[in-house]
Structure 1
Amino acid sequence: MNKFTAKDLPGISMTVYSSQEGWWSGSSGFSKTETKTAMNADNLQYIQSVSKTFMAVVILKLYEEGRIDLEAPITKYLPARFKEWIKNADQITVRMLLSHTSGIAEYVTDPQYIQTVLLTPLKVADMSKVLECLQDEEPQFAPGSRYLYTNTNYTLLALIAENITGDHARYMDDTVFKPLGLKNTFYRNHKNYLDNPRLVDSYWDLLNAGRPANVTPMQKANVRALVGDDGIISTPADAVKFLVGLMEGKLLKDTTLAMMMKWVRNQEGREVYGLGLIRFELNGQVGYGHGGGGIGAGCALIYVPSKKTYLFLATNIGVVWDGVPAIKANEMKDEIAGIVFR
């Protein structure tokens, strides 16, 4: 870790767990560079798109309770106004949202959304209005015909869960956080949760000049708006506890967990995604989990069954756009994962 924080990344924090070796947490660099505040294992990290795995578990819990049909069209569960904005909505199933096979347009790359983020960076976007902009966008492909990772899918899943439960964040707290004892994991049902003093500051090297700027207010405004596809903060240890609990059957039935790992293939024919889980290939070994990236953060949560080992690692610099920080963060992830899972 020190190798990467010495030059390229502000801070790194990680937790490793294996049934043989137990728990280990470590960190390097700074949670806030301006004050030289050291990064530590107790710092809260933005888990970004790892939130999708949490959201998938919520939907699958509702499925187990008989409150949602994965094969039903999303029009059955979405609020009426959204049905009119989404082309092919009556042909898209809940399962297609979970597996990124819906063909729905991507809000993250919508010009109006990008303009809002860049020109009014401290404004908390209204996701209803963001999704409304998609009514002018054509589908990316016919529902169910192929795979393409699309954040919009999980935003819609959150809206579906909200419509069914009345408060999807509270439902997540009651059915995921509390049963696993995740006392250091926070989402929208925790008031002002992004103002927690343990949350790391965020950095973004927009110009790839080697001088990252502190974009904490922008990062908070962006994450505060996101539902389903993002929005959770957690410590590395809690993130690992979540995946351990999921894989050990503490959240879902075995048959439901098996559904999460029924992989769809990408255009190259490689198995890549299940229901809220990414299939990783690490030095010839298969792993399950999810990655995440944002304006001011990047992370990965991975479980390798053959090693019976779990890893979560995070950095507090933006990796969502290509550039030196993203390259270095990926190098860091690959190098550390290579050591942990060798």
Structure 2
Amino acid sequence: MNRTLTVLLAILLLSSCREGDDIAPAFYTCGFTFSDSSAENENNSKYQNLIDELVSNGVVGMTMSVYQPQSGIWIGGSGKADLNNNIHMKPCNISRVGSTVKMFTATTVLMLAQEGKLELDDPIADYLQADVINRIDNADKATIKQLLQHSSGIFNYIQNLKFQTASLNDLIKEWTPDELLSYAEGKRAYFKPGTDVRYSNTGYILLGMLIEQIEGKPFYEVFDEKIFRPLNLSMTQFAAKNPVPDGIVRGYIDLYSKLQVVESTYFSGWDYFTADGGLISNPKDLNTFFQALMGHKLLNAEYLDQMLTWKSPKEPDPEFFPIAYGLGIFRIETPSGIAYMHSGDAIGYYANMLYFPDDSTSIAYAANSNYGKIDEFVSTKDATEHIISALKD
């Protein structure tokens, strides 16, 4: 998926890292609102052994949730939530889950369409102010559906080297949507709308603005009303409400690719107020959301079918599975079968959630460390294939 460019690691060498805070264990206390029977799950040992293995390889901490119709839900944790204070990871602990929020953004837009408040083939320009639309190439032509499917061709602001430099020079800066959009301004679109697919965070900033325009309130409040509260996702929130909330596990990066991590909890403030990232959650809540979505509890059959309408890129990524783009969701072809998925990362955090339509298995996991050698265990194609095969086969 869309990853922060490797220049990040080099520039971070020049950045000052905040020392680990002294935090009492009670800060990380959490629990579920149901009776967790994971220890009795027939696959308990297999699942726990996997995350223990990943931690032994160098991942700082890991949480995971697996649902299979025949064996029910399993939730587990391994490693450390906080190295400085020697706090063990709990299955319920929350962390940043990055771009997985795009599936929530897309679901919310589709729910608005389902309610008759918009048409997916409407141009986004019909809803947003001209001073936003006129700044960005293709924004005057792209439809809502094309933004959802990353087929708008709109330039991805994160790829602007000036943005990368500015953000890395101030890693705790909290960026506004307008500031981020300015880095897509004047940049030529990748292609004409609808002719190809290419990941664009810029498009999802515009979709967040669309939600706000229609509902008259911040998009993350609409998430609360339409998704978080109805599904009882009590451990899920958006960073705009509190960028570093109580209970969030510390994040770490393998800065030198030597499995010698430095803390990065307070880094990465560019998605705190935009719908392209900024979600805070845990694998249990992500799993609940994915199962509800696929079970028509949020979208009816018509709109779920539209979400699962696929378009493949003209130039496949040779370093990842064969992939096709849906509306805020991806379909990948793995040795274990077709999976729907969305991953996400922030500086020091990685998350992934997958659903296998052949048997309704869903998997969600989160790590509080990334980059360097750690990516080899959590986010590459080989890492993803290893995790899937260990859990599903």
TM over 0.5: yes
| Aligned-residue identity in percent | 30
Does 1:178 find its partner at 2:229?
yes
Of 78, 101, 104, the residue aligned with 2:151 is 101
Structure-2 separation of matches of 1:222 and 1:297 = 14
Native 8 Å contact 1:15 1:25 kept in 2: yes
Q: Is the 8 A contact 1:101 1:146 kept in 2?
A: yes
Q: Paired residue for 1:23?
A: 73
- Once superposed, what is the RMSD of the aligned Cα atoms? 1.7
Tell me the residue number matched to 2:61: 11
Deviation, 1:175, is 0.9
In the alignment, which of 213, 216, 225 is matched to residue 166 of structure 1? 216
Q: Which residue of 2 aligns with 1:338?
A: 389
1:278 pairs with one of 316, 330, 344 = 330
| Alignment CA distance shift 1:188-1:210 (3 Å) | closer
Deviation at 1:142, TM superposition (A): 1.2
Farther off after superposition, 289-298 or 327-336: 327-336
Deviations 1:241-277 (A, max 9, x none): 0001101110011110011111001124755110011
Asked whether 1:203 is paired with 2:255, we answer no
Structure 2 CA distance for aligned equivalents of residues 81 and 129 of structure 1: 13
Are 2:117 and 1:70 equivalent residues in the alignment?
Answer: no
Q: 2:335, 2:385 within 8 Å by CA — same for their partners in 1?
A: no
The total of aligned residue pairs comes to 335
Partner SS state of residue 220, structure 2: helix
Separation in 1, partners of 2:223, 2:294: 17
SS of residue matched to 1:134? coil
Distance 1:188 1:213, change over 3 A: closer
Q: Which runs of 4+ in 1 moved over 6 A?
A: none
2:303 pairs with one of 250, 256, 267? 256
**Cα pair 1:313 1:333 within 8 Å, conserved:** no
Corresponding letter in the other structure for 2:130: A
Give the structure 2 partner of residue 229 of structure 1: 276
Contact 1:45/1:236 (<8 A) preserved: no
TM-score by length of 2: 0.81
Q: Contact 2:57 / 2:377 at 8 angstroms: preserved in 1?
A: no
C-alpha distance after superposition, 1:213-239 (max 9, x if no partner): 1011114x34424x2111111121111
- In the TM superposition, residue 65 of structure 1 has moved relative to its aligned partner by 1.4
**Residue among 148, 160, 176 paired with 1:126:** 176
Partner of 1:308: 360
One of 31, 43, 47 as aligned partner of 2:93: 43
Q: CA deviation digits over 1:125-179, x for unaligned, max 9?
A: 1221120232221111111110111111111110111111122211111111111
Structure number having the greater helix percentage: 1
Q: Does the aligned pair in 2 maintain the 1:186–1:232 contact within 8 Å? A: yes
* Amino acid corresponding to residue 366 of structure 2 in structure 1: A
Q: Distance in 2 between matches of 1:328 and 1:7?
A: 7
Q: CA deviation at 1:43?
A: 0.4
Does the 8 Å contact 2:306/2:327 carry over to 1? yes
Q: Is the 8 A contact 1:282 1:338 kept in 2?
A: no
Equivalence for 2:287: 240
In the TM superposition, residue 289 of structure 1 has moved relative to its aligned partner by: 2.2
1:278-310 per-residue CA deviation (whole Å, 9 max, x = no partner) reads 102221401112111221111110111223211
Distance in 2 between residues matched to 1:209 and 1:339, nearest whole Å: 26
Please list, as runs of the form range in 1=range in 2, the aligned pairs for 1:187-202 lying within 5 A after superposition.
Answer: 187=238, 191-192=241-242, 194-202=243-251
Letter in 1 for 2:329: L
Q: Which moved more, 1:94-103 or 1:227-236?
A: 227-236
2:292 partner amino acid: G
Task: Determine if contact 1:4/1:332 at 8 Å carries over to the other structure.
Answer: no
TM-score, length of structure 1 as denominator length:
0.93
Tell me the equivalent position of 1:288. Answer: 340
My pick for the range that moved more, 10-19 or 278-287, is 278-287
Unaligned regions of 5+ residues in structure 2, if any? Answer: 1-50, 317-321
| Deviation of 1:206 (Å) | 2.7
